[in-house]
Amino acid sequence: MSQPKRTDAGGRIDRLRVLRFQFDGRRYQGYCGDTLASALLANDVHLTARSFKYHRPRGILALGAEEPNALVQLEQGAYTEPNVRATQIELYDGLIAHSQNRWPALGFDLGALNDTFSPLLPAGFYYKTFMWPASMWLRYEKAIRRMAGLGRAPCLPDPDRYDRMHAHCDVLVVGAGPAGLSAALSAARSGARVILADEQTEAGGQLLWERYDIDGHPAMAWVASVMAELAAAPEVRILARTLVSGYYDHNFVVACQRFDSPRSSAHAPRQRLWKIRAREVVLATGAVERALVFPDNDRPGIMLAGAVRGYLNRFGVTAGSRVVIATVGDDGYRTALDLASAGVAIAAVLDLRVRAAGFLPQQARARGIEVLTGQRIVATGGRMRVSAVRVQPFAGGTIREIACDLVAMSGGWIPTVHLFSQARGRLRFDARAGAFVPGEAMQPVRCAGSVQAAWLLHEALAQGFAAGGAAAQACGLEPARALELPQVSEPEATAADVALAHRGERASRRKQFVDFQADVTLADVGLAAREGYDAIEHLKRYTTAGMGVDQGKMGNANVVALLADARGEAAGTIGMSTFRPPYQPVSFSAIAGMDAGELFDPVRRTPMHEWHRRHGAVFEDAGQWKRACYYPRAGETLHASVQRECLAVRRGVGMLDASTLGKIDIQGPDAAEFLERIYCNPVRSLAPGRCRYGLMLKQDGMVFDDGVIARLAETHFLLTTTTGGAARVAAWLEEWLQTEWPMLKTYCTPVTEQYAQVAVSGPHSVELLAPLCSVDIRAMPFMSVRTGYVAGIGARIFRLSFAGGLGYEIAVPADRGYELWTTLMGAGERFDIAPYGTEAMHVLRAEKGFIIVGQETDGTVSPIDLGLDRLVRSDKFFIGQRSLARPDARRADRRQLVGLLTENPHEVLAEGTQLVAAPCTLARVAAEPVPMLGYVTSSYFSPSCGRSIALALVEAGVARIGQTLHAPLATRCVKVTLTAPRFVGDSDEVLHG
Amino acid sequence: MGDDASMRRFIGRDLVLGECPARACVELRGDPDDASFVRAVRTVTDLPLPLDPGRSAAGLLASILWLGPDRWLVCSDTQAGSDLAASLRAALAAIACAVVDVGAARIVYAVGGSNARAVLAKGCSLDLHERKFPLGHCAQTLLAKAPVLVHLSGAEPTFEIHVARSLRDYAWAWLRAAASEYAAEADDA
Amino acid sequence: MLRIACPWCGARDETEFGYGGEAHVALPADAAQLSDAAWAEYLFMRSNPKGRHRERWVHTHGCRRWFNVVRDTTTERIFAVYLAGSPPAQLPDEPA
Ligand SMILES: [Zn+2]
């Protein structure tokens, strides 16, 4: 297959390596080194897309990231990726891409009717028309979204690998064009750690396609020598194919590197997100060319002049065979001259300026190219490809039609200031360049080259050397030995008149595009300004200019200039909309990196996890922990399993893995005093060897955490915390010790992970354990602790039970936990021991009325509200004391903890069910709101009670005990009776032990 | 498979990952300005207490890693955890300090080879450059989403990563995933 | 993401730290003597300046130490880092 638009020689492509690819189902060939865009153009394919709103035929416009039109759907199935710029896709063998936003086909698109009826679709049309009436929006939205869709997100899991890499450097250089290379070189020669990131496959920037000589050789020879030196420097890291997308605080820079074309190995990541922390940054991000605004300026075959030159010189592709060049400066002549040298016919150069007397225009004339000055394009023809332009002098006069198949437009250059602006740097309008350039920096960042509107090569090189050296010096490094600037010969260029670029034809009724991707026209900007949206941020939202996935890289400059015109102000006075990360979309997969699947969130497992798993436990998440929730036997439901586990504990013996409980070791001469202040309970009076239930409050008097305080020795305590509260409590203790009471000699050490803990509960627990323990556990009083051996393992033995009734907890070093568990299970066989999970534990404790922090409390519940005020000592200082002393803390109508019994003993209310005074349903309440008096915090079926039980927080709940309230459900109402919050035995055993 | 699961190991290109055998570890708290405290620690470990952030001291009997201005980790491959703790407690009996056995609380993974830094850099925001993180250096930080203690224990380099026992599987899965690009070609990662 | 210099461990990423609000809010020694309003003032009211702010941070995933930072809330620039318990840091270009 031939590539009709490929030159015979030249370009940075490997003509021996032919690559096959498909676009919209048709097969083509390109060469290694091509992008998808250059390969399509080599095959004379310009039409690549339909526009977003009007579905107008669009072609490839640009050379790189600024491309607004040629967004394609890359690959298929699980590998597919939407909205990828064809100009940035490195061609590989077997590539498959499809055009987007067309239906049914690119050449015939029903949505193009939007274009025909476009006088009905002005800026703000959707806002004005479809938001009313509100109820209809949902219906309109579906149709609008189908018409206005971009690419399609993949529906299958992403099969590729992605990762993330942190990197640190002295000097990060963004962009490997002439300025970036010289910056990297001078920084590297100073001995700095340098990272050089560039989005292209090879370094060089504009030197990849501009025909300059450096030091008497083609510029790419200089690029090669610099790259060789950088590659050999031990402290330099070169990141090719790496697009810097975000510049955040404290010189934190995020870049995305592609490895995807073609995939070299199944092990290699497809993309890598770099998180770079740089002491100094040099931005050599270059510039993009500005389009010209004229009627029907969006036909396929109308391209940026620099891009046309780039496709020719870098890829050996002539984008047309008869070319009109429209320019506002000398730069357009480079394209004319390069094309002419390649044998392409130049129909004319249209110079919008009145005078074109510089070196390049002279060269063009000397080659016999017709140069028309002071003229502009007033119309274009050709449906799927431009076929002619009509030109007319600004002064008026005859309109002349020129046949062509390519229009190369050059409206001057727009510095790529996005990253500088993201770094909070201020932008400054450079009147000479007619564009915003970096002004005052707010972070350690420097700019060099065309991002500063330094258009000349020797300026870019000099600025790069200076910026790189200064950055290294700012890192405290000696400046490099005198660097010799390479010698460059380049023609003097006369100034471009960029104000001509956006001028357009005010009288024309044809569309004149300003933002190609968002389909915003010159008329839209005028309309928005007339309707009062004449601040740049308002205009942006009203017209959607700059809100496409390209963020208006190309279009914003003309939008701002047009708005200034509409307001009758000088360009640059109305500011620029803020640039926010990312510079270019980054895929979710790259952002997620490895944090997917089992690595999405860490899972914490107890030492006995494997036993639970192999014995059929169903796990539940408790923070990051996996806890055994229940252990169903064959055919057992959750309910049946939990009822059985509960009864085993009440009548025989059960065993719970309590290892996830937070544990904190407290030592020091002032440990007792410290804990006295931390807990609302008395601690100093606790005798060594004894334990006490403790409540921690926040300074506002509300319950923060609870657990057991065990006094191991005079100056040594062990606290338990809730599973979820372990880290929080440890941090809380450290905060008070370090910031308020540093004089207290106390050391806190979290030891949650050091111990496996097993709760052995039930009437047979003592018979099971006694023979295995080295201490006489029958002699242990309730709420006490002893140190000894259990089954030969050094252990702490606690006599206490969260389930209520007789029970022990055994703590052993975590590496012996599995052994302890299996030994106890074995020894328990003759007692018909049952492992029980967290669900049974919840039922058992609720029967006793024991609270769970986070279930019965939510940060607004005090110990008084919980009926635990008898624990609170008023004769000492503790955190929360002052707040509890407020009259409000004892207000009678606060929500208080009570028990609930449903009228029907088999009715188990859902936790969170609300309670009201009079019978009603949720449907009724929706129509006629009634005051909510409280809600259910815990609710279970209790096998010991043979009925449902619930705990609730109810306004003035204690005073209402014995009364009835109502729980409205969707279609019915449940009557409940308030009781004391305990259903089995005496709840005081743990609390008072 | 219980808690005594077989040691984990992975060998890739210029990369070795492995789980280290259990070792005695004691968290030591005390006042570094108290000369008797520093002296007593030296008596037991034959090591000077590292006083500068991120530093460690290593000897034949034990090694000591700086964790905070009044917090150290004392490790030993040659003693049982309870013995190490007991000898420290005995030497420090009269001094206000804390000696807490934490050996069972942690798993130590070793990440060695010239690709070790790259593997760790996938989840660790520390600057592990040899000038910034020299031999013997240690730091508490995050590796992916796990709190870890990173210790450059060998010049090859070999990094030791201490992670909470409950995160043993998570940390290993993460290390294996991060290492997969360095798998020997025949390996299936 | 900020880079915060822990006074002990040196510069680390913000993800290693916890934020503790305004610094130098002293716990009243005589809380029992305070009116409810004065207690509420201590407990809940904090300054929220646009500009330099003295605030507490804790190196949660590092040395676990609390310390103070002077940070500009608009530019995120950090001017000073100092130990908890030290008097408020005075900056050279700031009235005492
Ligand atoms: Zn620190």
Residue C70 falls within a domain, yes or no? yes
On the question of pLDDT at B3 being above 50, the answer is: no
Rg (CA), chain A: 38
Joined tokens for residue A685? 């009076």
C62/B contact by beta carbon, under 8 A: yes
Fold of A14-116: Ubiquitin-like (UB roll) (3.10.20)
Residue C93 falls within a domain, yes or no? no
Q: What is the pLDDT of residue A146?
A: 52
Class of A609-659+754-845 in CATH: alpha beta
Using 50, 70 and 90 to split pLDDT, how confident is the model at A268? confident
Q: Work out the minimum CA distance from B184 to partner chain C, whole angstroms.
A: 33
Chain B: residue nearest A606 by CA? B166
User: Right CATH number for A162-287+415-489 from 1.10.1200.10, 1.10.340.30, 3.50.50.60, 2.70.98.10?
Assistant: 3.50.50.60
Cross-chain Cβ contact A268/B82 below 8 Å: no
Q: Cα of A117 to ligand 1 centre, how many Å?
A: 65
C3/B contact by beta carbon, under 8 A: no
Question: Which of B54, B69, B147 is nearest residue C65 as measured by Cβ atoms?
Answer: B69
H or E stretch covering A390: strand A388-393
Do B95 and B112 fall within a single domain?
no
Question: Which of C13, C43, C84 is nearest residue A699 as measured by Cβ atoms?
Answer: C43
Taking residues A342-367, report their average pLDDT. 96
Joined tokens for residue C86? 């030290």
A394, with CB counted inside 10 A (0-12, 13-18, 19+), is: middle
Among A144-148, A336-340, A986-990, the least confident range: A986-990
Q: How many angstroms separate the CA atoms of A692 and A675, rounded? A: 12
B→C interface, C-beta within 8 Å: 53-54, 67-69, 71, 125-126, 139-142, 147
A731/C contact by beta carbon, under 8 A: yes
Joined tokens for residue C83? 């130990």
pLDDT in tens, A479-498: 877 678 899 988 887 778 99
Do B70 and B50 fall within a single domain?
yes
Residue C80 falls within a domain, yes or no? yes
Chain C: residue nearest A875 by CA? C32
Taking residues A252-262, report their average pLDDT. 86
Q: What is the pLDDT of residue A277?
A: 98
Q: What is the pLDDT of residue B4?
A: 44
Q: Last residue of a domain, which of B59, B85, B104?
A: B104
Q: What is the pLDDT of residue A142?
A: 58
Q: How many angstroms separate the CA atoms of A387 and A406, rounded? A: 8
What 3-state DSSP class applies to C14? Answer: helix
Q: What is the pLDDT of residue A261?
A: 59
Residue B2 falls within a domain, yes or no? no
Chain A: residue nearest C4 by CA? A250
Q: Work out the minimum CA distance from A266 to partner chain B, whole angstroms.
A: 8
* Residue among A668, A658, A695 nearest A798 (CA): A658
Using 50, 70 and 90 to split pLDDT, how confident is the model at A876? confident
Question: Which of A249, A251, A731 is nearest residue C58 as measured by Cβ atoms?
Answer: A731
pLDDT in tens, A23-55: 999 999 999 999 999 999 999 999 999 888 888
Do B146 and B89 fall within a single domain?
no
Q: Which spans in A455-504 are helix H?
A: 457-474
Fold of A662-753: Alpha-Beta Plaits (3.30.70)
Cross-chain Cβ contact C12/B125 below 8 Å: yes
Higher pLDDT, A872 or A547: A872
Task: Count structural domains, chain B.
Answer: 2
Residue B189 falls within a domain, yes or no? no
DSSP per-residue letters across A450-467: GGGT--SHHHHHHHHHHH
Q: Cα of A801 to ligand 1 centre, how many Å?
A: 39
The DSSP code for B80 is: -
One fold for A14-116 and A609-659+754-845? no
Percentage of chain A beyond pLDDT 90 is: 82
Higher pLDDT, A804 or A834: A834
The domain in which residue C71 lies consists of 17-24+43-85
Q: Cα of B149 to ligand 1 centre, how many Å?
A: 12
Q: Work out the minimum CA distance from B1 to partner chain C, whole angstroms.
A: 32
Using 50, 70 and 90 to split pLDDT, how confident is the model at A123? low
pLDDT in tens, A51-76: 888 889 999 999 999 999 999 999 98
Percentage of chain A beyond pLDDT 70 is: 94
Q: How many angstroms separate the CA atoms of A477 and A465, rounded? A: 15
B2/A contact by beta carbon, under 8 A: yes
pLDDT in tens, A126-172: 555 555 555 555 555 555 555 555 788 888 988 889 999 999 999 99
Joined tokens for residue A589? 């997969």
Taking residues A369-387, report their average pLDDT. 96
Q: How many angstroms separate the CA atoms of C2 and B125, rounded? A: 12
Q: What is the pLDDT of residue A737?
A: 96
pLDDT in tens, A551-584: 888 889 999 999 999 999 988 888 888 888 999 9
Cross-chain Cβ contact C61/B54 below 8 Å: no
Using 50, 70 and 90 to split pLDDT, how confident is the model at A987? very low
Joined tokens for residue B82? 């309870």
ipTM for the complex shown: 0.96
Neighbours of B114 (CB within 10 A): 12
* Residue among A455, A499, A557, A491 nearest A354 (CA): A499
Cross-chain Cβ contact B105/A814 below 8 Å: yes
Q: Work out the minimum CA distance from A848 to partner chain B, whole angstroms.
A: 31
Taking residues A586-598, report their average pLDDT. 93
Q: Work out the minimum CA distance from C58 to partner chain A, whole angstroms.
A: 8
Using 50, 70 and 90 to split pLDDT, how confident is the model at C90? confident
Looking at every residue in chain C, the average pLDDT score rounds to 93
The DSSP code for B14 is: T
Looking at every residue in chain B, the average pLDDT score rounds to 93
Fold of A891-993: Elongation Factor Tu (Ef-tu); domain 3 (2.40.30)
Using 50, 70 and 90 to split pLDDT, how confident is the model at A874? confident
On the question of pLDDT at A988 being above 80, the answer is: no
The CATH number given to whatever domain includes residue C75 is 3.30.2270.10
Cross-chain Cβ contact B139/C8 below 8 Å: no
Class of A292-410 in CATH: alpha beta
Q: Cα of B153 to ligand 1 centre, how many Å?
A: 21
Chain C: residue nearest A740 by CA? C27
Higher pLDDT, A149 or A79: A79
Q: What is the pLDDT of residue A52?
A: 82
Q: Work out the minimum CA distance from C16 to partner chain B, whole angstroms.
A: 7
What 3-state DSSP class applies to A201? Answer: coil
Residue C69 falls within a domain, yes or no? yes
Q: Cα of A727 to ligand 1 centre, how many Å?
A: 17
Chain A: residue nearest B144 by CA? A595
pLDDT in tens, A819-865: 999 999 999 999 999 999 999 999 999 999 999 999 999 999 999 99
Using 50, 70 and 90 to split pLDDT, how confident is the model at B98? very high
Q: Work out the minimum CA distance from B64 to partner chain C, whole angstroms.
A: 15
Q: What is the pLDDT of residue B1?
A: 36
Task: Count structural domains, chain C.
Answer: 1
Question: Which of C10, C16, C63 is nearest residue B69 as measured by Cβ atoms?
Answer: C63
Q: What is the pLDDT of residue A143?
A: 57
Cross-chain Cβ contact A665/B170 below 8 Å: no
What 3-state DSSP class applies to A719? Answer: strand
Among A110-119, A530-539, A677-686, the least confident range: A110-119
- Are the C-beta atoms of A62 and A68 separated by less than 8 Å? yes
Using 50, 70 and 90 to split pLDDT, how confident is the model at C75? very high
Taking residues A415-436, report their average pLDDT. 94
Residue C48 falls within a domain, yes or no? yes
Q: What is the pLDDT of residue A128?
A: 59
Q: Last residue of a domain, which of B61, B83, B104?
A: B104
Q: What is the pLDDT of residue A260?
A: 64
The CATH number given to whatever domain includes residue B173 is 3.30.1360.120
Q: Give this prediction's pTM.
A: 0.94
The amino acid present at A120, given as its one-letter code, is L
CA within 13 Å, CB half, A960: 27
Q: What is the pLDDT of residue A571?
A: 81
Looking at every residue in chain A, the average pLDDT score rounds to 92
Using 50, 70 and 90 to split pLDDT, how confident is the model at B2? very low
Taking residues C52-61, report their average pLDDT. 96
Residue B98 falls within a domain, yes or no? yes
B156/A contact by beta carbon, under 8 A: no
Cross-chain Cβ contact A739/C32 below 8 Å: no
Q: How many angstroms separate the CA atoms of A371 and A88, rounded? A: 33
Cross-chain Cβ contact B173/A599 below 8 Å: yes
Q: What is the pLDDT of residue A371?
A: 97
Taking residues C60-73, report their average pLDDT. 96
Ion ligand 1 nearby residues (CB, 5 A): C 6, 8-9, 59, 62-63
Q: Do you find a cis peptide bond into A104, omega within 30 degrees of 0? A: yes
The amino acid present at A283, given as its one-letter code, is L
Q: Last residue of a domain, which of B74, B104, B134?
A: B104
On the question of pLDDT at A978 being above 90, the answer is: yes
Higher pLDDT, A895 or A383: A895
pLDDT in tens, A270-311: 999 999 999 999 999 999 999 999 999 999 999 999 999 999
Q: What is the pLDDT of residue A991?
A: 42
On the question of pLDDT at A709 being above 50, the answer is: yes
Alpha-carbon torsion, ordered A785, A790, A793, A796, to 10 deg:
-10
pLDDT in tens, B86-95: 999 999 999 9
Q: Cα of C72 to ligand 1 centre, how many Å?
A: 21
H or E stretch covering A102: none
On the question of pLDDT at A124 being above 70, the answer is: no
Q: In angstroms, what CA-CA distances link C17 with A490, C4, C57?
A: 53, 8, 7
| Residues of C in Cβ contact (< 8 Å) with A277 | 3, 13
The domain in which residue B28 lies consists of 24-104
